[in-house]
């Protein structure tokens, strides 16, 4: 059974605007990279926006070429007959503002100077990313999204859509999310920042793309990486195995888990821009649904659509208690809310690793909306 | 009520030995820094060994001078009328082998070369530290310790005492410990190592003491530091407060939690040797009570004395499940074992922050032994 969307292509939407940011600064013109799967129906009522996490991109499903080793990042979820069924739904995924995978970000050329923004790029909030996505949804001629679904930073975007564009979403599905990042999450990002700043090649953000601060950036990624895993998933994957090449009593000897973190960190350097990583980390840190409201309660009164929430038992980056904090407020406010705590050993990454544990509930939820 | 042990002095014991290490290498002559509080009774039966954590030292109680701002690291526990009552017990605390606070470690001068060992120092296991402590206990003329008590790496030492010197301990009290470090704990140490290795001043361990790899080492400490805290304790202490000096939308602006981590990391550089930190991290990583046995079960059959264990609900570095792994085996083996899960929000550091939550149980346990 081939349930792939097949060969897909990233599109680039241009917006000749000056987007007003939460910081008070403006940013424009803008480019947003995006992909779509399936077809918009004549009523324009079957569009689903998929929102990605920190280092994700617009390529959520299918392959760019037959030879691609791996499909898009949520290919398990999107395709004919899958939970986000492209025979029924028109699925859109766009790379967030501030990223480096085709959308305007710190590595983009500032048209006013002809040079990359680097650290002259404005600090963004998740709310700004969502405002930029709304421009894309406008351009695609869609008044109302059937749902916005995403994990981690994608969950934050889904919630912001619900709160700030209540007329434009029929539902939201935040997965492994929160109403505000915790001091622990901020602390982990702070360590990643310091790892980059410590690298002499960082040059206060003015490194050349071909000479990124690779040592510091790989370490920054590894710091993030452990927060996506869980003690249990590490036990399953590595245990206490020592790397065969190295002696147990060699000072520089490595356990398997540390070789893996190093390897992944190094790989990441080649596929992501350091400044983008830091700007998105900052957006995560600043994330608070109550920003510019008096309270989270006041913010959440604006969410009128049904919301479906998932949290994972082994997630220690955005632990279930943080999702429950939001869900509890929504219940107190009498909002239509459904919440499931999913038993999974894969930590924060569970939303990518074990989608089958929550997709049946997503299907039921979407069927009910569409009926 | 003055319940301090008062002014104390660190002593230095010299051992003209060649200690056979688990790695197969030998190390000697050795120096161990230690302090004692209270008096050894005529039966020599009231000695308690306090074992310290990763970056601890021999100075567990009292002050070195009236002007000292802070007393020893477990002053809440040790003194007249306290749980380790110096009117009743003779309390010994020694700096572990491999550390930099007076005991032989990588920063010590290798008598064969006249220069610091640096990375020619042998990789140690916790078992080696305990063998060195046994030399000190010999020298103090003590055949049998009433108990060995310590948290974190101190708990590992207590367990190793029980397993390898069953005739020399009447009990052990491991707090916030484990039978083997988890891949998560190893991964965190791996990040800390990389932070140091990335610093050009590290020079493969041959930095000059007056020019340590301060940036990398401060980050390494900060990585360790977050693992000692908990999400909840960070909420209580910092919340999401932004550092007043910095603007929220300043790229280099800091949350309180990150300023705290940076400040503490920087302070730490002045009081600890980088190589010692890494050697002790390695000893933590290698820690496994089953080392050189067929299994943890076989190792634990050697533990004959009563053991009293504490774990803390919010400890995610050595979570309760890891203590329970050992306790369960001991119960299956029919060993006299007492275990308490302590509800505390202070993470791994709870054993230092909230001793009052477990000290009553320690008192009862010691009274029963002494009676």
Closest CA–CA distance from residue A21 to any residue of chain B (Å): 11
Phi/psi class of residue A314: alpha, beta or left (left: φ > 0; alpha: ψ in -120 to 50)? Answer: alpha
> Closest by alpha carbon to A176, among A346, A14, A1, A61?
A346
Active site residues per annotation of A: 152, 315, 348
Q: Is the ipTM of this complex over 0.90?
A: yes
Q: Which residue among B235, B249, B288 sits closest to A23, beta carbon to beta carbon?
A: B249
User: Per-residue pLDDT for chain A (371 aa), expressed as one digit of tens each?
Assistant: 458 999 999 999 999 999 999 999 999 999 999 999 999 999 999 999 999 999 999 999 999 999 999 999 999 999 999 999 999 999 999 999 999 999 999 999 999 999 999 999 999 999 999 999 999 999 999 999 999 999 999 999 999 999 999 999 999 999 999 999 999 999 999 999 999 999 999 999 999 999 999 999 999 999 999 999 998 999 999 999 888 666 788 899 999 999 999 999 999 999 999 999 999 999 999 999 999 999 999 999 999 999 999 999 999 999 999 999 999 999 999 999 999 999 999 999 999 999 999 999 999 999 999 77
Q: What is the pLDDT of residue A32?
A: 98
> Closest by alpha carbon to A195, among A258, A121, A269?
A269
Q: How far apart are CA B260 and CA B210, in angstroms?
A: 24
Pairwise CB contact (< 8 Å): B223 & A222: no
Angle between helix A153-164 and helix A274-286 axes, rounded to 10 deg: 50
Full-model pTM = 0.95
Q: What is the pLDDT of residue A1?
A: 43
In eight-state DSSP terms, residue A63 is: B
Pairwise CB contact (< 8 Å): B123 & A251: yes
Q: Is A191 on the interface with B (CB under 8 A)?
A: yes
Tokens 């949350």, residue located = B255
Q: How far apart are CA B341 and CA B336, in angstroms?
A: 17
Q: In angstroms, what CA-CA distances link B161 with A112, A153, B133, B137, B281?
A: 69, 48, 9, 12, 20
The interface residues of chain B toward chain A in range 18-37, judged by CB-CB distance below 8 A, are 22-25
Closest CA–CA distance from residue A27 to any residue of chain B (Å): 14
In eight-state DSSP terms, residue A239 is: T
Closest CA–CA distance from residue A82 to any residue of chain B (Å): 34
User: Per-residue pLDDT for chain B (371 aa), expressed as one digit of tens each?
Assistant: 458 999 999 999 999 999 999 999 999 999 999 999 999 999 999 999 999 999 999 999 999 999 999 999 999 999 999 999 999 999 999 999 999 999 999 999 999 999 999 999 999 999 999 999 999 999 999 999 999 999 999 999 999 999 999 999 999 999 999 999 999 999 999 999 999 999 999 999 999 999 999 999 999 999 999 999 998 999 999 999 988 666 788 899 999 999 999 999 999 999 999 999 999 999 999 999 999 999 999 999 999 999 999 999 999 999 999 999 999 999 999 999 999 999 999 999 999 999 999 999 999 999 999 77
Q: Is B69 on the interface with A (CB under 8 A)?
A: no
Residue B286 in contact with residue B343, Cβ under 8 Å? no
Q: How far apart are CA B273 and CA B204, in angstroms?
A: 14
Which residue does chain A place closest to B181, by CA atoms? A240
Which chain A residues have a beta carbon less than 8 Å from that of B248? Answer: 23, 123, 286
Which chain A residues have a beta carbon less than 8 Å from that of B226? Answer: 184, 187-188, 191
Q: Is B204 on the interface with A (CB under 8 A)?
A: no
Q: Which residue among A25, A181, A257 sits closest to B186, beta carbon to beta carbon?
A: A257
Q: Is B39 a catalytic residue?
A: no
The interface residues of chain A toward chain B in range 251-270, judged by CB-CB distance below 8 A, are 251, 254-255, 257-258, 261-262
Q: How far apart are CA A318 and CA A338, in angstroms?
A: 18
Catalytic residue from among B152, B227, B314, B344 = B152
The interface residues of chain B toward chain A in range 120-149, judged by CB-CB distance below 8 A, are 122-123
Q: What is the pLDDT of residue B2?
A: 58
Which residue does chain A place closest to B106, by CA atoms? A251
Q: What is the pLDDT of residue A311?
A: 98
Q: Is B348 a catalytic residue?
A: yes
């Amino acid at each position: 059974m081939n349930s792939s969307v097949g060969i897909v292509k990233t599109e680039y939407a241009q917006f000749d605007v000056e987007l007003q940011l939460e910081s008070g600064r403006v940013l424009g013109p803008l480019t947003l990279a995006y992909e779509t799967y399936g077809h918009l129906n004549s009523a324009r009522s079957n569009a689903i926006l998929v929102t990605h996490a920190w280092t994700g991109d617009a390529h959520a499903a299918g392959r760019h070429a037959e030879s691609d080793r791996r499909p898009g990042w949520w290919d398990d979820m999107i395709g004919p007959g899958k939970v986000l069924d492209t025979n029924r739904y028109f699925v859109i995924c766009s790379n967030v503002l501030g990223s480096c995978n085709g959308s305007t970000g710190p590595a983009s050329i500032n048209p006013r100077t002809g040079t990359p923004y680097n650290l002259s790029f404005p600090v963004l909030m998740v709310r700004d990313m969502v405002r930029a996505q709304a421009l894309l949804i406008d351009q695609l001629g869609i008044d109302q999204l059937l749902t916005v679904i995403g994990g981690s930073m994608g969950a934050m975007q889904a919630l912001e859509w619900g709160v700030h564009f209540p007329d434009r979403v029929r539902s939201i599905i935040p997965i492994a999310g929160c109403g505000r990042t915790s001091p622990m999450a901020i602390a982990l990002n702070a360590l990643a920042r310091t790892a980059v700043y410590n690298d002499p090649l960082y040059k206060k953000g003015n490194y050349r793309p071909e000479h990124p601060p690779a040592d510091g950036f790989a370490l920054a990624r590894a710091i993030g990486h452990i927060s996506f895993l869980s003690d249990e998933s590490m036990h399953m994957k590595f245990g206490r195995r020592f790397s065969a090449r190295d002696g147990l009593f060699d000072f520089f000897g490595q356990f398997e888990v540390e070789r893996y973190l190093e390897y992944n960190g190094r790989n990441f350097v080649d596929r992501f821009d350091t400044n983008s990583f830091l700007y998105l980390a900052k957006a995560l840190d600043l994330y608070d649904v109550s920003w510019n409201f008096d309270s989270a309660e006041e913010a959440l009164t604006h969410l009128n659509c049904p919301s479906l929430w998932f949290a994972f038992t082994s997630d220690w980056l955005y632990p279930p208690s943080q999702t429950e904090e939001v869900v509890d407020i929504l219940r107190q406010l009498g909002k239509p809310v459904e919440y499931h705590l999913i038993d999974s050993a894969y930590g924060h990454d569970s939303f990518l690793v074990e989608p089958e544990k929550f997709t049946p509930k997503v299907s039921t939820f979407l069927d009910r909306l569409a009926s």
